[in-house]
Amino acid sequence: MQDFRKLKVWEKSHHLTLEVYKVTKSFPKEELYGLTSQLRRSCASIPANIAEGCCRSGDVEFVRFLQISAASASETDYHLLLSRDLGYLNEAVYQRISLELVEVRQMLSSLINKIRSKTTSQKLIAKS
């Protein structure tokens, strides 16, 4: 078990979630239970699943939660695009947050690959 707070990807995804909460404060009130809620929940799911995965037993389970985080990042990506297209986010804010999201997605992918690589190496050593 590791402390999720020490993972850079958790830190960046937490920061991203805080940003999403800030920018969605200005969304129309009629979207509070619609797009605002969906965007906040999908974004908060990214660091939440990283945190949950850290306390699971073994790398296979941890990778599964990282994959769930990556799926939530894709969902967040769509909600951001929709928010921009509906005029709730201006282009500059959309671009800034999207770049942060791309970085988080790349970090998740790298961490997943690193853990899988380590697991594969351990299996090969165990077979020898």
For residue range 39-90, what is the model confidence (pLDDT) as tens digits? 999 999 999 999 999 998 889 999 999 999 999 999 999 999 999 999 999 9
Residue 78, pLDDT score: 98
**Domain range enclosing 64:** 4-127
User: pTM to 2 decimals?
Assistant: 0.91
Look up residue 4 and give its two tokens.
């999720």
Question: What one-character-per-residue DSSP string does 66-80 give?
Answer: HHHHHHHHHHHHHHH
Q: What integer pLDDT is reported at residue 70 of this predicted model? A: 98
Q: Cβ distance 52 to 65 under 8 Å?
A: yes
Number of domains in the chain: 1
User: Does 111 have pLDDT greater than 60?
Assistant: yes
Q: How far apart are CA 20 and CA 65, in angstroms?
A: 21
Handedness of CA 97, 17, 53, 122 (dihedral sign): positive
Q: What is the CATH number of the domain that holds 123?
A: 1.20.1440.60
